[in-house]
Every structure is written in C-alpha cells, then in structure tokens.
Amino acid sequence: MAIIAVLVIALSASIYYYLSGMEEKPTVTSTEIGINTPNAGVMVSEEVAASEPEEVSVTIGNFAFLPASLTVKKGTVVVWTNTDLVVHDVVGTDGKLPELKSPLFGQGGTYRFSFDEVGSFAYYCSVHPSMRGTVTVEE
C-alpha cells in the first residue's frame, strides 16, 4: 500500500512539472511524503558487518547421527537436534576438543557447538556408544 502511495505521489509530481514546463524535476524523498524509511538519504559505507557464523544441522534419529560425517569451515556452528524418543548426548571421543561434551537432551532438544579449530573430530553418544559421527573442519 505504501509503495503504491509513493508511486502515485512521484508520478503526480512528475506530470505536474512536465506540464508546467519546468526543466528541473524535483526529487521526492521518503521523509517528504511521510514514509518511515530507515537510513533514507544516508550514504552507507562499503564496510560489511561481520556475518553470523554458518550453522550446519545434524539430526539425531533412529539411534544415529545424520549425517554421520560432515565437513565444515572453521567457525561453523553445528547444531544437533534429537528427534528420538530417548535421551542422547554428544561427546568428543579423541580428547582433541574436551569441551565437546553436551548434557543429555531429549526429543526436540538441541546442542550447539562452534568448531573453531581445524582438524577431524570424532564424537559419539555416551548412552548409546554405537552412535558415532565425525566433523572435519577446514580453513
């Protein structure tokens, strides 16, 4: 609705000035027509704010990590979501990342971990040790 109002006002102004024979056409800004537009008429620098880390999902279902193996870039956050009716956890197996150790979480629960080191990191569910997975982190 607001876009239509802007177009109608801009078109009306253009027609008026064209018909009145004025050579210089005015510029209608959003503030002049009462539209609340953040940063209207403000130059934006080329700097881009740091983006949020990428997130990759792992589903826990049917007593398995899906996918069981994945490769991500350094800084990626992996989010495990439990879809099983029983509790699971995510625990690093090789001691490379001792902080990779979630509490037990039930159906619908999630665990998030940011992989900030390059390497290959194996993990498992301590309640169901046959459930295993690997995250490979690249630069």
Contact by Cβ (8 Å): 121, 115: yes
Q: Say if residue 96's pLDDT is above 60.
A: yes
Given this model, what pLDDT does residue 108 score?
97
Average pLDDT, stretch 115-134?
97
Assign 9 to helix, strand or coil.
helix
Given this model, what pLDDT does residue 40 score?
47
Given this model, what pLDDT does residue 72 score?
97
Residues 60-74 as b/e (b if ≥16 CB within 10 A, e otherwise) read: beeebbeeeebebee
| Average pLDDT of the chain, as a whole number | 77
Query: Distances in Å between the alpha carbon of 39 and those of 2, 19, 50?
Result: 17, 32, 20
Report cis status (omega within 30 of 0) of the bond before 129: no
Element spanning 31, H or E: none
User: Nearest to residue 79, comparing CAs of 116, 115, 125?
Assistant: 115
Q: What is the pLDDT of residues 19-51, one digit of tens each?
A: 445 444 444 443 443 444 454 444 444 454 556
Given this model, what pLDDT does residue 8 score?
38
